[in-house]
């Protein structure tokens, strides 16, 4: 059986973050879900607060790869790794964090595309 495709989560920073002003969220998410080899793509409003932790604990699974569009990868690591570790998900092995701030939709699509290809290559 083929390796499971990654899931894409766009953390959209409440929808009010100036860092995502140049990004058309729906163009990005629809491109990713329709054109790339992902299992599916979803949007979360703010993964780095308590309900984000609750989401991760409820949602993430060992063995699945997640590509997360959002802020600085170091920030994502710091904010997500403990909640994920509680349910046996290893941030380093399973999460590919992408900084999509201050990018055009075209550039963000390119970055996500490259990440999906890289995850597929490493599978
Ligand atoms: S994890 Fe990053 S992108 Fe997501 S809400 Fe927090 S600061 Fe914003």
pTM of the model: 0.96
Q: What is the pLDDT of residues 51-107, one digit of tens each?
A: 999 999 999 999 999 999 999 999 999 999 999 999 999 999 999 999 999 999 999
Using the predicted structure, report yes or no on whether residue 32 has a pLDDT greater than 90. yes
DSSP the chain: -PPPPPEEEEE-GGGT-GGGTT--HHHHHHHHHHHSS-S-EEEES-TTSHHHHHHHHHH--TT--EEEEES-HHHHHHHHHHHHHHTT--HHHHEEEEE-TT--HHHHHHHHHHHHHHHHHH-
Pocket of ligand 1 (CB under 6 A): 11, 13, 17, 46-48, 70-71, 75-76, 79
1 pLDDT band, cuts 50/70/90, is: very low
72 Cα nearest atom in ligand 1:
2
In order of start, what are the domains of the chain with their CATH numbers? 7-122 (3.40.50)
80 Cα nearest atom in ligand 1:
1
18 pLDDT band, cuts 50/70/90, is: very high
Give the pLDDT confidence score for residue 119 in this predicted structure.
96
């Amino acid at each position: 059986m083929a390796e499971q495709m990654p899931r894409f989560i766009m953390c959209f920073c409440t929808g009010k973050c100036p860092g995502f002003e140049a990004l058309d969220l729906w163009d990005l998410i629809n491109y990713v879900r329709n054109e790339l080899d992902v299992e599916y793509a979803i949007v979360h409003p703010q993964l780095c607060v308590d309900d984000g932790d609750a989401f991760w604990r409820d949602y993430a699974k060992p063995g699945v790869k997640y590509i997360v569009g959002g802020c600085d990868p170091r920030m994502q690591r710091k904010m997500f790794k403990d909640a994920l570790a509680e349910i046996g998900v290893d941030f380093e092995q399973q999460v590919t964090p992408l900084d999509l701030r201050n990018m055009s939709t075209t550039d963000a699509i390119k970055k996500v595309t490259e990440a999906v290809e890289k995850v597929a290559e490493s599978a």
